[in-house]
Amino acid sequence: MWKVEVNEKLCKRCGICSTFCPVKVFTCEIDGLPVHTYQEKCTGCNLCVLRCPDIALTLTGGKEQ
């Protein structure tokens, strides 16, 4: 299973990660911090990480075989 970790100190809460996610795995907290809520849907495409202007996201894990 893929997991996106959000560095709260680097994240400016712009929402770009959730905008570019093709399967919409993110929800946002009240302050705008993205939360990788639907991990089971994540395909590991890395678009959220690549589009993040603050380099605040890290993709880890992978699909179970």
What are residue 64's DSSP bridge partners? none
CB 23 within 8 A of CB 42: yes
Indicate yes or no: pTM above 0.75.
yes
The pLDDT of residue 64 is 57
Domain ranges of the chain: 2-61
State whether CATH 3.40.50.300 applies to domain 2-61: no
Q: Model confidence over 27-47: pLDDT tens digits?
A: 999 999 999 999 999 999 999
The pLDDT-based confidence of 65 (bands split at 50, 70, 90) is very low
- Note the Cα 26 to chain centre separation in Å: 6
Phi-psi region of 63 (alpha: psi -120 to 50; beta: other; left: phi over 0): beta
